[in-house]
C-alpha cells in the first residue's frame, strides 16, 4: 500500500502464521496459503528469517510476507485467484501478465488466474497482499475472468478509497475480529474491497470463448495430452510442447476458446480421476494415497479443491461409495 499504509499492520501482526529460518520450509508454508512455487535465494543460502501473517475473510485473504533475504520467486501459472501485491518496506521487480514493473509503497502489481508470475524481492522487502478467489470475484461481478492493468499506482486519487479500506482492515484488530465472528460482515468487507477496487483500477472482462468447434488444433492437441497425462507431474511447458506452440500462445488460446488455462484443465481432470477413485475405494484405501496418485501432493489443498468442486469432503465421498457397494 502507499506510504500512508506503510504504518505497522497491527491487526495482521496478531495473526502470525509462521516464522522460519529454512527456505524449503518457508516455501511449503507459503504454498498452503497461496500456491506451490519456487523460492531461490540470490545469495545461494538456505538460511533466512522469514515470516508470514494472514487472515481470511469470505473469499479473500490479506497478508504480510517477509522472505528474510533477497529472493527470487517463480510461479509458473497462477491458480484460481487474483493477487494484488505491494510493499510495506523495500521493493521488488516483478514480471506478470507479460509486463515488468517495480513495486514499493506507492506502486503495486496485479496478477490474474492463469498468468505467469515471477519477481526478485529486495533483502529488506516485506510485501503486503490481497488474494481474491476467482469464484468470489465472479460472484460479485458476473464475469468469469477479469483482466486488470498489471501496474497499480496506489497514490492515484481513484484508488484512495480502496487503499483506505485495505489499510483499515490491516491496522484495526476490531475490524478483523468482526469479520472472523460474523460471516455476513466478512462478505460485506469482501464486497466493499472488490467494489472499490473495480471503481478505482482499470479492468475489463476477458474475451468470451468462441464455439468449441472453432478451437484451434493446438488447443485440441493440448486437451488430448492432458487427458492422457493429467495425473502425472506435467507442467505448462510439457503441454505447450505437446501442442507444438509457445506457452504464451497456448495460454491465450485456452482463455479465448475454453475460458480457462491449461493447468486449470489439468486440475479439473485430476479431480475427476480422484472422485472416481474415491467412489470405488476399497476398505484399505487411504485418501492421501489417492490424492497423491492423482497428482495432488498437498492433501490439505486437495481436500479444499475437492470440497469446492463437489460440495463434500473426500472422506465423505469414500463413505458414500462404500455404502453403495
**Could you tell me which residues come within 8 angstroms of residue 40 by beta carbon, excluding any fewer than 6 positions away?**
71, 72, 73, 74
Q: Is the pLDDT of residue 212 over 60?
A: no
Sorting pLDDT into bands at 50, 70 and 90, what band is 82?
Answer: very high
Q: Distance between alpha carbon 263 and the CA centroid of its chain, in Å?
A: 13
Q: What is the mean pLDDT of residues 297-319?
A: 89
> What are the C-alpha distances in Å from 65 to residues 62, 84, 154, 204, 248?
10, 13, 19, 29, 29
Q: Is the pLDDT of residue 4 over 60?
A: no
Task: CATH number for 212-324: choose from 3.40.50.720, 1.10.10.10, 1.10.10.60, 3.40.630.30.
Answer: 1.10.10.60
Sorting pLDDT into bands at 50, 70 and 90, what band is 309?
Answer: confident
Parts of the chain belonging to CATH 2.60.120.10: 3-205
Q: What is the largest CA-CA distance in the chain?
A: 62
User: How large is the C-alpha radius of gyration of the chain?
Assistant: 20
Give 220-236 pLDDT, tens digit per residue: 899 999 999 999 989 88
Q: What is the mean pLDDT of residues 122-134?
A: 93
Residue 58 and residue 140: Cα distance in Å, rounded?
12
pLDDT of residue 324: 66
pLDDT of residue 6: 57
Give 63-76 pLDDT, tens digit per residue: 999 999 999 999 98
Q: Is the pLDDT of residue 61 over 50?
A: yes
Q: What is the mean pLDDT of residues 113-117?
A: 88
Q: Does domain 3-205 have CATH number 2.60.40.10?
A: no
Helix axes 173-181, 183-200, angle to 10 degrees: 120
Q: Is the pLDDT of residue 317 over 60?
A: yes
Parts of the chain belonging to CATH 1.10.10.60: 212-324
The x, y and z cell numbers of residue 275, run together, are: 472422485
Sorting pLDDT into bands at 50, 70 and 90, what band is 215?
Answer: low
Amino acid at each position: 500500500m502507499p506510504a500512508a499504509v506503510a504504518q505497522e499492520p497491527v491487526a495482521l501482526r496478531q495473526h502470525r502464521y509462521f516464522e522460519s529460518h529454512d527456505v524449503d520450509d518457508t516455501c511449503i508454508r507459503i504454498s498452503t496459503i497461496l500456491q506451490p512455487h519456487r523460492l531461490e535465494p540470490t545469495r545461494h543460502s538456505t538460511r533466512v528469517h522469514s515470516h508470514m501473517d494472514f487472515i481470511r475473510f469470505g473469499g479473500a485473504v490479506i497478508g504480510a510476507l517477509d522472505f528474510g533475504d533477497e529472493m527470487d520467486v517463480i510461479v509458473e501459472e497462477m491458480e484460481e485467484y487474483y493477487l494484488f501485491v505491494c510493499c510495506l518496506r523495500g521493493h521488488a521487480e516483478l514480471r506478470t501478465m507479460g509486463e515488468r514493473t517495480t513495486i514499493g509503497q506507492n506502486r503495486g502489481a496485479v496478477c490474474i488466474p492463469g498468468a505467469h508470475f515471477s519477481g526478485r524481492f529486495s533483502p529488506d522487502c516485506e510485501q503486503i497482499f490481497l488474494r481474491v478467489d476467482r469464484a468470489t470475484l465472479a460472484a460479485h461481478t458476473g464475469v468469469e475472468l477479469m483482466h486488470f492493468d498489471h501496474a497499480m499506482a496506489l497514490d492515484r486519487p481513484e484508488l484512495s478509497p480502496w487503499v483506505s479500506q485495505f489499510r483499515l482492515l490491516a491496522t484495526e484488530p476490531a475490524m478483523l475480529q468482526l469479520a472472523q465472528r460474523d460471516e455476513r460482515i466478512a462478505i460485506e468487507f469482501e464486497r466493499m474491497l472488490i467494489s472499490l477496487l473495480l471503481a478505482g483500477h482499470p479492468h475489463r472482462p476477458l474475451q468470451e470463448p468462441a464455439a468449441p468447434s472453432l478451437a484451434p488444433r493446438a488447443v485440441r492437441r493440448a486437451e488430448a495430452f492432458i487427458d492422457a497425462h493429467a495425473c502425472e507431474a506435467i507442467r505448462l511447458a510439457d503441454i505447450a510442447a505437446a501442442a507444438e506452440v509457445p506457452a504464451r500462445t497456448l495460454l491465450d488460446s485456452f482463455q479465448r476458446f475454453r475460458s480457462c488455462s491449461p493447468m486449470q484443465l489439468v486440475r479439473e481432470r485430476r479431480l475427476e480421476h480422484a472422485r472416481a477413485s474415491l467412489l470405488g475405494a476399497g476398505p484399505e484405501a487411504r485418501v492421501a494415497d489417492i490424492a497423491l496418485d492423482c497428482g495432488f501432493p498437498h492433501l490439505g489443498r486437495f481436500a479444499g479443491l475437492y470440497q469446492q468442486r463437489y460440495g463434500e469432503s473426500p472422506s465423505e465421498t469414500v463413505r458414500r461409495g462404500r455404502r453403495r457397494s
